[in-house]
Structure 1
Amino acid sequence: MTPATSLFSPVEDDLDLLTENLKNLIGARHPILYAAAEHLFGARGKRVRPAIVLLVSKATIPGHELTPRHRRLAEITEMIHTASLVHDDVVDESDLRRGVPTVHSSFGNRIAVLAGDFLFAQSSWYLANLDNLEVVKLLSQVIMDLAEGEIQQGLNRFSTNLSIEAYLEKSYYKTASLLANSSKAAAVLSDVSPSLTEALYGYGRHIGLAFQIVDDILDFTGSTEELGKPAGSDLKDGNLTAPVLYALEEKPSLEVLIEREFAQPGDLEQAIAFVRSSQGIERSRALAKQHSKSAIACLEELPPSASRQVLVKLADYVLSRLY
């Protein structure tokens, strides 16, 4: 499997610069927030979201030279994503993310909430300074969508009548909206045609959904070491994902275990076994593949370039994580 980081070679130097800039944007005025920022914006993680923004930017700019506004958009995108992770980890009471201690486990809940708020506020300020009302609207929508997704997930815990459509809607709010709207924003800053702008929104939307579905499959097929958290963590928390929803259609006993919230010893292990022995994982793979193909189709109008080639390969990479 090709690692995502090697795919991003056309923007590797730009991503390194982005990481340094993110630490500097927080500034040394707040020592604890700066320590939290260093913890968050270290070299770990794939930086997929800002990489996509930079790739879309390069692919839509004549001469493929990034402008300061495109660079700042990529930084804002990563700030919004990181702020949402900090708050998610507080809500989910997660001690680890990708095997590394979360901000709230290292600095406490109070600092984690403030750090997330600070990052959202900083991203909004830098967003306003781009002086492009359409881009402000697009990224402001993302912040609303992230909150909407978290609320939907909270309200639907252990809900066995959740539909695949509702799952995809929640996945759009929580994951794909940022990729879709930041890709569109990059196209807006490049001043490309409305049809290409919408196509790049579609690329971000479909690749975001494919990413989320694959993550949800790996929750059942990956190891604790790979995931940085125990397998079946989402199911344990009552977050029913595509593999579970499909499995429920053929395993009535699974519904009983979920509805009693795994109250009895062995319930969770039995539920995971039901999912693994069903067609749920295979059907979820097919769903992820469908969105990956749709993402590639959205790039047809984009002129050939090294960056466009990487965007296509990235859609294949999403699926390759399963094998």
Structure 2
Amino acid sequence: MEFHEIYLLYRHELDRVERLLDERAHADHADLARAGRTLLEAGGKRIRPLFALICGLGEREWSLDVAKIAAALEMIHMATLVHDDVIDRADLRRGKPTVRKSYGNLAAMYTGDYLFARAIQLLAEVDNLEVHRLMARGIVLLCEGEIEQIEDFYNWSQGVMTYLRRIHRKTALLISLSCQLGAMVGGASAREVAALARFGHAVGMAFQIVDDLLDFTGAAEIVGKPVGGDLRQGNLTLPALLAASRPGIGERLRDLVREGMREEEAEEAIRLIVSSGALEDAERFAERYLEKARLLLQGVSREAVREQLMGLTSFILRRQY
């Protein structure tokens, strides 16, 4: 099943989630309202809500609780993006000015905090203690992942395992929770909920690795941010770490990528990483995670859910944005 077919299948449900986001992200304070509107209008793939809807609904009827889970997870994701843009001093997100660019760092930080709070308010309407326990733990790990990323800026001594642990917390966790909580609230069996949580983790790991690849290979006008943006900010992702292990390349990268790096040094570092074969090696990491995800789908009894999730895994590896 193709990605666009899956989106069309859940178009009405996603529209309902979008209306819920619009309603719950609204603020009476003028600056918060404008900043929230900027985020919503920037759009996005809404991957996390889609995973929650597929795992929570599948062949079942509409569920408002599943929609609330989907919207809350997306608001948490949006909050992390706003905070990330402040940390990274990013001016563009999805090709549009970031909240920090339009309204300043302080307004951006409070916007992110507000979205976190509104997400928690929305989750409080779902009468399931386990949902709240899992989400609270997830937010803690997410914040820890953000702090670890800041601590590791320009840190060439970190290894691949450090990177994988970081993206588990920053990205894979929310996608795993989208699948797990959607299925849980949707009434799936405990066995299926567990399988979908592990599936979401594997897909989330692959999703972030592909995102880090696109930072080197994607067209800026499609990806919506400058090529090599992570490297310029000192965020050493999998392609950079793999390239640094190459004899003759690692030492030069360490010399180039540092605080105060000039533009020509950044461009040379990007060329070294691209020509080193590290991108192909990183893609194989993503492929292995997606293969694991496909195997985990065998633990899902609903045929429609398996087929739709399989379609999403195929899209992730070949996506261009």
Find the aligned partners of 1:40 and 1:275 in 2 and give their Cα distance. 32
Find the aligned partners of 2:18 and 2:42 in 1 and give their Cα distance. 7
Deviation at 1:131, TM superposition (A): 2.0
Find the aligned partners of 1:289 and 1:26 in 2 and give their Cα distance. 36
Q: Find the counterpart in structure 1 of residue 265 from structure 2.
A: 267
Which runs of 5 or more structure 2 residues have no equivalent in the other structure? none
Q: Find the counterpart in structure 2 of residue 236 from structure 1.
A: 232
- Aligned AA (2:298): E
Q: Find the counterpart in structure 2 of residue 276 from structure 1.
A: 274
Q: Find the counterpart in structure 2 of residue 226 from structure 1.
A: 222
CA RMSD of aligned residues (A): 2.1
**Cα distance change of structure 1 residues 180 and 310 upon mapping to structure 2, 3 Å threshold:** same
Find the aligned partners of 1:38 and 1:261 in 2 and give their Cα distance. 34
Q: Find the counterpart in structure 2 of residue 136 from structure 1.
A: 132
Q: Find the counterpart in structure 2 of residue 320 from structure 1.
A: 318
1:56-86, CA deviations, whole angstroms, 9 ceiling, x for partnerless residues?
Answer: 1113xxx511211111111111111111111
1:126-157, CA deviations, whole angstroms, 9 ceiling, x for partnerless residues?
Answer: 21221211100111122112211111111111
Match of 2:243 among 241, 244, 247: 247
CA contact (8 A) 1:26 1:33 kept: no
Find the aligned partners of 2:146 and 2:27 in 1 and give their Cα distance. 31
Deviation at 1:315, TM superposition (A): 0.4
Q: Find the counterpart in structure 2 of residue 93 from structure 1.
A: 89
- Aligned AA (1:109): N
- Aligned AA (1:311): L
Task: For residue 271 of structure 1, give the secondary structure of its aligned residue in structure 2.
Answer: helix
Find the aligned partners of 2:300 and 2:9 in 1 and give their Cα distance. 17
Task: For residue 272 of structure 2, give the secondary structure of its aligned residue in structure 1.
Answer: helix
In the superposition, the TM-score normalised over structure 2's length comes to 0.93
Q: Find the counterpart in structure 1 of residue 287 from structure 2.
A: 289
CA contact (8 A) 1:160 1:255 kept: no
Q: Find the counterpart in structure 2 of residue 123 from structure 1.
A: 119
1:144-200, CA deviations, whole angstroms, 9 ceiling, x for partnerless residues?
Answer: 122111111111111112111110110011111111122111222133333221111
Would you say how many aligned residue pairs link Structure 1 and Structure 2? 319
Deviation at 1:221, TM superposition (A): 1.1
Deviation at 1:264, TM superposition (A): 5.4
Deviation at 1:306, TM superposition (A): 3.3
Deviation at 1:317, TM superposition (A): 0.5
- Aligned AA (2:49): P
Deviation at 1:43, TM superposition (A): 6.8
Deviation at 1:87, TM superposition (A): 1.2
1:74-101, CA deviations, whole angstroms, 9 ceiling, x for partnerless residues?
Answer: 1111111111111111111111101011
Find the aligned partners of 1:47 and 1:147 in 2 and give their Cα distance. 21
Find the aligned partners of 1:8 and 1:249 in 2 and give their Cα distance. 40
- Aligned AA (2:151): L
Deviation at 1:235, TM superposition (A): 0.9
Q: Find the counterpart in structure 2 of residue 257 from structure 1.
A: 255
Q: Find the counterpart in structure 2 of residue 38 from structure 1.
A: 37
**Cα distance change of structure 1 residues 93 and 126 upon mapping to structure 2, 3 Å threshold:** same
Q: Find the counterpart in structure 2 of residue 7 from structure 1.
A: 6
Task: For residue 131 of structure 1, give the secondary structure of its aligned residue in structure 2.
Answer: coil
Task: For residue 10 of structure 2, give the secondary structure of its aligned residue in structure 1.
Answer: helix
CA contact (8 A) 1:243 1:275 kept: yes
CA contact (8 A) 1:56 1:187 kept: yes
CA contact (8 A) 1:139 1:178 kept: no
Structure-to-structure mapping, 1:182-197, within 5 angstroms: 182-197=178-193
Find the aligned partners of 1:118 and 1:298 in 2 and give their Cα distance. 36
Which runs of 5 or more structure 1 residues have no equivalent in the other structure? none
Deviation at 1:120, TM superposition (A): 0.6
- Aligned AA (1:222): G
Find the aligned partners of 2:245 and 2:26 in 1 and give their Cα distance. 52
Task: For residue 160 of structure 1, give the secondary structure of its aligned residue in structure 2.
Answer: coil
Find the aligned partners of 1:93 and 1:265 in 2 and give their Cα distance. 16
**Cα distance change of structure 1 residues 28 and 155 upon mapping to structure 2, 3 Å threshold:** closer
Find the aligned partners of 2:115 and 2:281 in 1 and give their Cα distance. 37
- The percent of aligned pairs where both chains have the same amino acid is 37
**Cα distance change of structure 1 residues 194 and 28 upon mapping to structure 2, 3 Å threshold:** closer
**Cα distance change of structure 1 residues 104 and 322 upon mapping to structure 2, 3 Å threshold:** closer
Find the aligned partners of 2:253 and 2:235 in 1 and give their Cα distance. 13
- Aligned AA (1:272): I
**Cα distance change of structure 1 residues 312 and 37 upon mapping to structure 2, 3 Å threshold:** same
**Cα distance change of structure 1 residues 38 and 265 upon mapping to structure 2, 3 Å threshold:** closer
Match status 1:111 vs 2:107: yes
Structure-to-structure mapping, 1:130-209, within 5 angstroms: 130-209=126-205
Deviation at 1:295, TM superposition (A): 1.3
Find the aligned partners of 1:316 and 1:15 in 2 and give their Cα distance. 21
